[in-house]
Amino acid sequence: MRTRTEITLETDRLIVVSRPKKKRWCSDCELYVEMMSIDDAALRSQVNSRTIFRWAESGAVHSTETAEGLLLICPNSLNQNL
């Protein structure tokens, strides 16, 4: 008689994003905060980057643009939208 063994595996994924921290002035919060990139903000809030752009355009989150044209998001305002 043959026996059959079934093995089930469960996995979890942890993504750690590590970048140099630069505090910038958020004119809406009136604080120096570690601004986030669009991708980091999307990962943190579990939405896509287009949603973050829409939130920034509508003023739902505080944002600033760098000299290079990159949009940065204030994490304080992002927390308020979650």
CA gap 4, 2 in Å, rounded: 7
- Residue of 52 and 21 predicted with greater confidence: 52
Residue 18 lies in a domain: no
Report the number of distinct structural domains present in the chain. 1
Q: Are 39 and 78 in contact (CB under 8 A)?
A: no
Could you list the residue range(s) of the whole structural domain that residue 61 is in? 23-81
pLDDT digits (tens, 9 = 90+) for 29-46: 889 999 999 999 999 999
Has this prediction a pTM greater than 0.85?
Answer: no
Q: Please give the full DSSP string across the chain, using - where no structure is assigned.
A: ----------------------EEEETTTTEEEE-EEHHHHHHHHTS-HHHHHHHHHHTSS-EEE-TTS-EEE-HHHHHHH-
Q: Are 31 and 77 in contact (CB under 8 A)?
A: no
Residue 31 lies in a domain: yes
pLDDT digits (tens, 9 = 90+) for 3-12: 888 899 888 8
Residue 33 maps to which CATH number? Answer: 1.10.1660
Q: Assign 18 a pLDDT band (cuts: 50, 70, 90).
A: low
Q: Is the pLDDT of residue 23 over 90?
A: no
